[in-house]
Chain A
């Protein structure tokens, strides 16, 4: 496979690692868009990212010209192989002081980033894949919901999503109809808002940030930003890892691995409204990496 030539994707910010999992000053190796990168987070919290070279072993050896753009946002190190925008998409809830902010895990998954986003947006699989947690038979219907592509925010927004969930989170005490809002503010990132079992006026935030290793492999970083005063960190993480572990074989068995953008390539049903909007949005942006573009 050739390295990425998709300028839309090259110019994006991409996550490469969770700051909670770094040791100050230690260098970690990773792969982004088929390029080997090294990164390190200083004691001051500032990340340095560079293209891996055997002679460059510490962040303080890296000349300014050799440093890639780097940012620490939402608990992760972000970088870019092109010219990224000044700011990453906003998640205002991240700043709310009473939220638990955790990296649930970073998992390697044998899937393209867009296929993983589509699965994240899909409610239809809840009763079958996340049985007795995010869904249960006979509550299998995906009720009508709204999807818009917001032009000024350049993101997809799916609202009025509702689903019956036996155990929506670690703070749940039983089954409930749960409201969902999905945002796709980045071709490889999605943010989910779901009703909080502890505060009817607020929502838990769960985000998935996909680091494209190549067109058919990702590192999936999962951010939790939830309201739960009682559960230990590891219990909250375990809940999300359980869910993701259930999705993993489904994601890895998708064929073809890259997401087809031609509207005739796969037959959607009404429940796939957000996926249809996502594919159209990727086409409009001209994304070619991790997808099978529609014939011109």
Chain B
């Protein structure tokens, strides 16, 4: 059984809860008092992850850290359809890795802005917001072309991949860091598509999609 070391308000933890819900992976949760308790810097937690970061999973003794790495592991091991991380398709794996790294960039900017505003982290807020807008602009353009080509998801596959899961949370929570999504219509349409994936769940700060518009 998988154990997830989890903080409710963490977008990186939510990525894993979300994929596990979509794939129907049973797991148990160990809450970590990230804030205000800073339990991720406690002695017991640093033994699990010397970087002192969430999330961490323990799958029958295999301990993994880093949200993106764990998405790769979970999809590789537990997705019978093989579409979330298609191991037989090198080009697609390259694309997925590219956008997983992009998701890390979103964490370094949009998530940092949110930590500054809500949890009083001492970050350069202007740099964090500007960095997030730069990434959002790139993703918005990318998704616009995706739609023009008749596709729906970040990577060139007919189904969503873990790249969509990795990018979604901190985009969806960006307004808590003072980063509006008003100017990114393709991102907003893509967020609604993610919310309609079967098995989608919310976290605090993320609301479900409204009812789909009836066909005209």
Contacts and interface: CB of A to CB of B under 8 A. Distances in A.
B31 interface: yes
A216 to B, nearest CB: 12
Contacts of A248: 118, 176, 204-205
Interface string A23-43: 000000000000000000000
Nearest to B121: A108
Contacts of B204: 241-246, 248
Interface stretch (B33-41, B65-73, B160-168, B192-200): B33-41
A188 B120 CA distance: 21
Given A109-B118, A252-B175, A234 B8 contact: no
A241 B9 contact: yes
A198 interface: no
A237 interface: yes
A173 B204 CA distance: 22
Given A108-B119, A110-B117, A249 B175 contact: yes
A245 B9 contact: yes
Residue from the set B7, B37, B118, B119 with the largest chain A CB neighbour count within 10 Å = B118
A238 B118 contact: no
Interface residues of A, number: 27
B185 interface: no
A213 to B, nearest CB: 11
A234 to B, nearest CB: 4
Interface string B145-182: 00000000000000000000000000000011010000
Contacts of B119: 107-108
Contacts of B36: 18, 20-21, 103, 105-106
A110 B178 contact: yes
Chain A binding site: helix, strand, loop or mixed by DSSP? helix
Given A242-B204, A245-B8, A246-B205, A252 B33 contact: no
Nearest to A237: B33
A245 B203 CA distance: 8
B175 A108 contact: no
Contacts of B33: 233-234, 237-238
Given A106-B36, A234-B37, A252 B176 contact: yes
Contacts of A109: 118
A245 B205 contact: yes
A237 B35 CA distance: 9
Contacts of B118: 107-109, 248
Interface string B25-60: 000000111011101000000000000000000000
A151 to B, nearest CB: 38
A294 interface: no
Interface in A88-106: 103, 105-106
Nearest to A130: B204
A56 interface: no
Contacts of B178: 110
Interface in A226-253: 232-235, 237-238, 241-246, 248-249, 252-253
Contacts of A106: 36, 120
A238 B31 contact: yes
A233 B37 CA distance: 10
A243 B203 CA distance: 10
Contacts of A253: 175
Nearest to B176: A248
Nearest to B30: A234
A235 B178 CA distance: 29
Given A241-B204, A242-B9, 15 more contacts: A106-B120, A108-B118, A108-B119, A110-B178, A232-B31, A234-B39, A237-B33, A238-B7, A241-B8, A242-B8, A242-B204, A243-B204, A249-B175, A249-B205, A252-B176
Interface of B: 7-9, 31-33, 35-37, 39, 117-120, 175-176, 178, 203-205, 207
20 contacts: A106-B36, A107-B118, A108-B117, A233-B33, A234-B31, A237-B33, A237-B37, A241-B8, A241-B204, A242-B204, A243-B204, A244-B204, A245-B9, A245-B203, A245-B204, A245-B205, A246-B204, A248-B204, A249-B175, A252-B175
Q: Which 3 A-B pairs have the closest CB atoms?
A: A245-B204, A234-B33, A246-B204
